[in-house]
Amino acid sequence: MKKLLAVLFAVPAFLFLPGSSSAVAEGWQLGVKGAVSFSDFGFTPDQINPYFPQHSGSYVGGFSTEKSFNGGLVALKRISEAVKLNFSVEFKSLRTTTHVFGPSDGVHEIHLKFDYIVATLKLQINSQSGFFVNAGPSFGFNTIAGIKWEGDREFHSSSNGSSVRFAVALGAGIELPAGPFTCIPQASYDFGLSDTYEGESENLLRASSYDVGVAIVLNS
């Protein structure tokens, strides 16, 4: 896992080295990105009456939408006048709060968090006015999976977080030239395709997210 993460960061980071200026001249735009992420958790579609087995007969309520911040590196490669490849590597945290309704011991609040290093490759279509849409696969590599029960002061590590998360990322935004840089306000929806939490068979969670942020890249 450490070698894989090193490679993911090394690819865009290498392009920033002084000796890599020729890569920028060949159509690369390199920069940084940041966003506010709003999580969207839910049980997998085929589950009925999900519950926590360690609390016999305890049913789980809905999941809250919570915000977190993510950021990382981005590289754009022009393929044609209207088409670009959009590659990014970033840190992303997905968080939510839910409640367990027990038959005898009342309601318990549970906080969950899943931290990832996410690599995304999207095909981007640009209009002449600067507006664009993009879409592509996203792969998240879990670094921390934590759970905090009501009354706990800190998150406890959980072994039930899936090690790899697969998703499809859909986005839109506008490119605004600003001297040697381009400012890119953008919004995206990250639709989870795989389970985020892999506890008992009755307790599978999937997470998606809505992201709103900005990227700043060097002009090629």
Question: In whole numbers, what is the pLDDT of the chain averaged over residues?
Answer: 78
How far apart CA 31 and CA 214 sit, in angstroms, is 11
The model's pTM is: 0.75
pLDDT attached to residue 12: 52
Q: Name the least confident of 6-10, 26-30, 35-39, 164-168.
A: 6-10
d(CA 135, CA 56): 42
Domains annotated on the chain, with CATH: 29-218 (2.40.160.20)
List of residues 6+ apart from 45 with CB closer than 8 A:
none
Residue 43 pLDDT exceeds 70: no
Q: Is residue 96's pLDDT more than 70? A: yes
If pLDDT is split at 50, 70 and 90, which confidence band does 113 have? confident
What is the predicted pLDDT for the residue at 21?
A: 47
- pLDDT above 60: residue 35: yes
**50 pLDDT more than 60:** no
Q: What is the pLDDT of residue 114?
A: 86
pLDDT digits (tens, 9 = 90+) for 53-87: 444 445 566 677 888 999 999 999 999 989 999 99
